Amino acid sequence: MLSLTSVAKQSNTSSLPASSPSLQAARLATPFQGVNQTPVPVVIARGSGTLTTADAAAIERLTTGLARVPRVQQVKNLGTSRDRQAVQLQVLATINLGTQGPAQQLVTGLRRAIRAGVLPGDLHAHLAGTVAAQADARPAIERSTWARTCPSCSS
pLDDT, tens digit, for every residue of 76-129? 999 999 999 999 999 999 987 776 688 899 999 999 999 998 899 899 999 999
Above 80 in pLDDT, residue 47?
Answer: yes
Listed by start position, the domains of the chain span 4-141
Which of 42, 37, 46 minimizes the C-alpha distance to 73?
A: 37
What is d(CA 49, CA 122) in angstroms, rounded to the nearest whole number? Answer: 9
What is d(CA 84, CA 50) in angstroms, rounded to the nearest whole number? Answer: 5
What is d(CA 94, CA 103) in angstroms, rounded to the nearest whole number? Answer: 9
| Three-state secondary-structure class, residue 86 | strand
State the architecture of 4-141 in CATH terms: 2-Layer Sandwich (3.30)
**What single-letter amino acid sits at 76?**
K
Mean of per-residue pLDDT scores for the chain? 80
Above 70 in pLDDT, residue 34?
Answer: no
What pLDDT does 143 receive? 53
Lowest-confidence range among 25-34, 61-70, 112-121? Answer: 25-34
What is d(CA 107, CA 20) in angstroms, rounded to the nearest whole number? Answer: 32
Confidence band (pLDDT; 50, 70, 90) for 7? very low
What pLDDT does 13 receive? 46
Model pTM? 0.72
What is d(CA 11, CA 18) in angstroms, rounded to the nearest whole number? Answer: 15
What is d(CA 40, CA 45) in angstroms, rounded to the nearest whole number? Answer: 16
Helix axes 21-29, 4-12, angle to 10 degrees: 150
Strands 38-46 and 72-80: unpaired
Question: Which among 30-34, 108-112, 139-143 has the top mean pLDDT?
Answer: 108-112
